[in-house]
C-alpha cells in the first residue's frame, strides 16, 4: 500500500519541479544555474518553434536560430549559419542537460532579454559570439 502513495508523492514533487517558476529550497547553486538555463532554453525554443529566427551577430555575421525536435524533451535550441545549413552550436532544452560538443551558453541579462553565446566559427582563437533576442508577451 505504501508504494503507490510514495509514487504519487514523487510524481507530485516532480510535477511541481517541472513548473518554470518553481524553485525548491534544497537546490545547490549548480542546480539553480541548470534550472535557469533550462527555463531560458525552453522559452527561446518556444519562440522559435514556428520556424527559424534570423539574428545579426555583428562582426561575426548573421545566424539562424532554430528549435529542433520541439515535440521531444522541450526541443533542442540550435544556432546555424545564415543559410541554415551548418550547425554551429546547440543545447538540448531538457531539464539538467549538460553541455554539448558545440556548446551554447544561455543567460538572461535583463528582463525579457535573452543572450546566446557560442564560439565564433570564423576564428580559431576561441573568441565567442553573442546573440541577443527580446521576447515580449506570452511565449
Residue 79 to residue 55: CA distance in whole angstroms: 10
- In the block, cell 534544497 appears at 26
- Mean pLDDT score, 90-111: 88
Q: What is the DSSP-derived secondary structure letter of residue 138?
A: -
Question: What is each CA distance from 29 to 23, 87, 100, in whole angstroms?
Answer: 12, 31, 21
Give me 83's grid cell.
Answer: 543559410
Query: How far apart (Å, rounded) are the C-alpha atoms in residues 34 and 97?
Result: 8
The pLDDT tens digits of the residues spanning 16-45 come to: 444 555 566 677 888 888 888 888 888 888
pTM of the model: 0.70
Q: Report pLDDT for 104.
A: 92
How far is the first Cα of the chain from the last one, in angstroms, to the nearest whole number? 42
- pLDDT over 50 at 78, yes or no: yes
What integer best gives the mean pLDDT of the chain? 76
Higher pLDDT, 61 or 104: 104
CA distance 68 to 26: 32
Single out the residue of 125, 121, 129 nearest to residue 81, CA to CA.
Answer: 121
Once rounded to an integer, what is the mean pLDDT over residues 37-54? Answer: 79
Residues sharing a CB contact under 8 Å with residue 61, sequence separation 6 or more, in sequence order: 82, 122
Amino acid at each position: 500500500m505504501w508504494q503507490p502513495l510514495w509514487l504519487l508523492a514523487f510524481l507530485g514533487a516532480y510535477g511541481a519541479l517541472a513548473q518554470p517558476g518553481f524553485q525548491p529550497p534544497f537546490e545547490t547553486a549548480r542546480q539553480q544555474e541548470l534550472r535557469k538555463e533550462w527555463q531560458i532554453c525552453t522559452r527561446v525554443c518556444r519562440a522559435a518553434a514556428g520556424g527559424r529566427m534570423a539574428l545579426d551577430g555583428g562582426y561575426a555575421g548573421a545566424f539562424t536560430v532554430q528549435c529542433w525536435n520541439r515535440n521531444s524533451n522541450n526541443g533542442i535550441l540550435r544556432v546555424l549559419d545564415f543559410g541554415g545549413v551548418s550547425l554551429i552550436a546547440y543545447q538540448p532544452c531538457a531539464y539538467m542537460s549538460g553541455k554539448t560538443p558545440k556548446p551554447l551558453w544561455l543567460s538572461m541579462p535583463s528582463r525579457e532579454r535573452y543572450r546566446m553565446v557560442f564560439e565564433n566559427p570564423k576564428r580559431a582563437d576561441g573568441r565567442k559570439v553573442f546573440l541577443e533576442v527580446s521576447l515580449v508577451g506570452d511565449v
